[in-house]
Structure 1
Amino acid sequence: MAILRNTRVMEAISLSLLISLLLPSTSSQQPAPVIDVSHRRIQLLGSVTGPEGLAFDAAGGGPYTGVSDGRVLKWEGPLHGWTEFSISSPIRNRRVCDDSTNPALEDRCGRPLGLMFNRVTGDLYIADAYFGLLMVGPAGGPATQLAIAAEGTPFRMTNAIDIDQQSGVVYFTDSSTRFQRRDWYQCIAARDATGRLMRYDPRTKQLTVFLRGLQFANGVALSRNGSFVLVGETTRGRILRYWLEGPTAGTSEVFATVPGRPDNLKRNREGQFWVGLGLGPRDVVAVKLDEQGRTVEVLRDGRGKNPVSEVEEQNGTLWLGSLGSSFVGVSTPLAGFGP
């Protein structure tokens, strides 16, 4: 037992050293706590996989998640399980698409990634990798396309989304203008720098490009006071901050460097940002950043890493999305990360 304890101590020390080398340093910042996370699994419907993005409606219902066969599913609790809420492809054929895990069918079946509710209207906004920015009403059903191109250049990999709940303005990313989602690895390997950060105003239908030339633009998250928006650059392993207000409005800067390749970003009620690390060091699945870009928590899966694309914090519970898994993970850190 002493050997086992010593091994775990050495692993924790090594992990802390790795994180300290990769994260921005300040003289006053204390090392971020490294927390071992275990979680129970909510198996998805049928044989589908890839619950990359998660969202809860204004009433706390859900989570909702997009999966490999092009559907958006809603979790109705243990009694009713998963139900179909929406589809994002206007050309989807159920006989061909239902339960599909074949990436070659994504351009027909759809591949919903980022999800976010407008809590005032109840509308769900969807970033589909192949069909652009879409919206579906509170009752669900087929989603309506809102935008498929910007500045005359079509979206090729619409990815993540966030909404200003005061104005209804939508912020979202297109990871590349050259590569589609099923070719995401080639996009990273080529260091493609055609990703974009954009804004869509539902009232005026106006679309604005904020940032261009991003290397695999990925997660997006608005700050609590709406003064800036964050966007992840997966290939570069960093988070950028784009200022929306103040004397530096219209400019961007590096907000944080993370220990791996950042995927989705989600803000919690305290204004902190969860960063899923779909590709990262062994065992590290996510980090939490404060509003200054400092790491305040590191999640570690010591039982064998399941890549985490997103961490959604809801009423003290962490819901974990993943690009390749057949389940959504649920963990309650306040209860000691019990299975």
Structure 2
Amino acid sequence: MESKKLIVTASPHITNHTSTRGLMLNVCIALLPALVASTLIFGARALLVTGVTVAACVGFEALYCVVMKKPVPVGDFSAVVTGMILAFNLPATIPLWIAIIGAFVAIVVAKQLFGGLGFNFANPALLGRIVLFIGFAGRMTAYAFPQTDIDALASATPLVAGNSMAGKDMLLQLLLGAHGGVLGETCAVALILGGIYLIATKTISAAIPLSYIGTVAVLSLVLGQDVVLQLFSGGLLLGAFFMATDYVTSPFTFTGRIVYGVCLGVITCIIRFYGNMAEGVSFALLLMNLLVPYINDLTRQKPLGGAKAK
């Protein structure tokens, strides 16, 4: 009879066949509805901007790793995801050279200089977006009208327009994206479909997006704001489903994710309602990314049978 050996290995002991490549491909698939929607709304320029940012992110990652004599990780699709999310934070009117600068900041500065995937302190696409917003504010707010020539600029996004957009057609406009804005903040239906796909495939946990969106809804209602406008306009859905759930820069405990989502909602509402900017998602995400290590420490589960802290 063949003897059975007891194999002892280091944790983790429960594994599956999930890979970084598989997770990133799921995110790319989830972003496709929003990419199709932005192309229908703004025309082929949306595809061009997305293609340029993706190509630039992949190229910068490969070039950096070759120069630094490191393994080239472009096959894991993380640079592709960064390029797509960065593009979704840009208007269709953005000059392509500015989009390339954003890709450089996202990949080289925010990701590779801190050690590559798994070591970045903030979401790379988020940091690229904030740097571009600060450095090229005029270009970043030059929004195009839907279904018109790409050079025609909208006067204001729904968050800026506020109550002047209210009416029986407001919800339909917000859901279908019939308004100006960046590529990834127009069609709410497409973003929701992508978010549902990520949750259904267990690519992300529902804790962060639900607590984030729920907090914004409750605070908007309590503070007398238009709940529909706050939920379906701006970058809330894009941030909640695709940026706040980044594995590296979000908490790994369930309690931590709830705390993270609630704090994101509170900060977003404070900036939107009391700040001098109509949008607050990006800066809320950046601030909470910096606090994630502390949230992890405070919400970490104590080992069973472990000694109590003195």
| TM-score bucket of the superposed structures, by smaller chain | under 0.3
Q: Which has the higher helix share?
A: 2
Q: Which has the higher strand share?
A: 1
TM-score w.r.t. length of structure 1? 0.25
TM-score w.r.t. length of structure 2? 0.27
